[in-house]
Structure 1
Amino acid sequence: MNTLLKKTTFAAVVAALFGAAPLMLQAETIPDRGPVPFSTYDQNGDGTISEKEFYDIREKRMKARAESGRMMRKAADAPEFSEFDANKDGKITPEELQAGQNARMQQRGGQGMGRGAK
């Protein structure tokens, strides 16, 4: 009887771990500041970012910032999916994301880093 209980408990623990594995893999932390890594956007791991994945991550990031009491300055200036989808095929590749993030940083030209000398 004791052996049966151990085997049943072990089987339940293994089943719980395998059932939770996809959730643990998907729950990559979204950075509070700076560029979001490609792997965070690519929730299904297919090597591209869909429009849904893009906006889901953006929404989660904004929600987390709001819940922590962080100011939402320039939220209306958040980039659109189309700004990153350079070839307009409905998905963003790692190269497109990197190019888009680089372009956004260059456009900002240091804005947001405090008041500069006038």
Structure 2
Amino acid sequence: MTKENIVAGTIMITNKAEETFFLVAVEGESNTLPTVEMSGEGKSPLGSIMESLLKHVNVDSESLRLLDLTNIRGNGRNIPLFVFDALEKPADVDTVLTDRSHFAWKKSSDITEILTDWELGGVPIYH
């Protein structure tokens, strides 16, 4: 396994109609989990991914709560995965995106397609 200082994360948000969506990164015709390289500035994995996600989603950081922490494995990589839940419930989830060309909201059925290339583990691995 190769060592990489990458952390992944997503935000789960529910709109006023009670539909739930997950934040994904758009890469050409496909979607993937948002990732960020850990900075050498001493930030924790949690701080690194939270800061990155908040650059692309206009929600109050106080409205995010950590829902799940796991590890994803695949393609010779082990990456911690943080899943946040946003307490805010916008009428239209696209209104909280700051960069619609690189990020989108996908329903849970779509997110399972993204996870098919990864094996989920219960314990995060940090490098």
TM-score computed with the length of structure 2 as normaliser: 0.23
Q: Which has the larger radius of gyration?
A: 1
Higher relative contact order (CA 8 A, sep 6+): 2
TM-score computed with the length of structure 1 as normaliser: 0.24
Higher strand share: 2
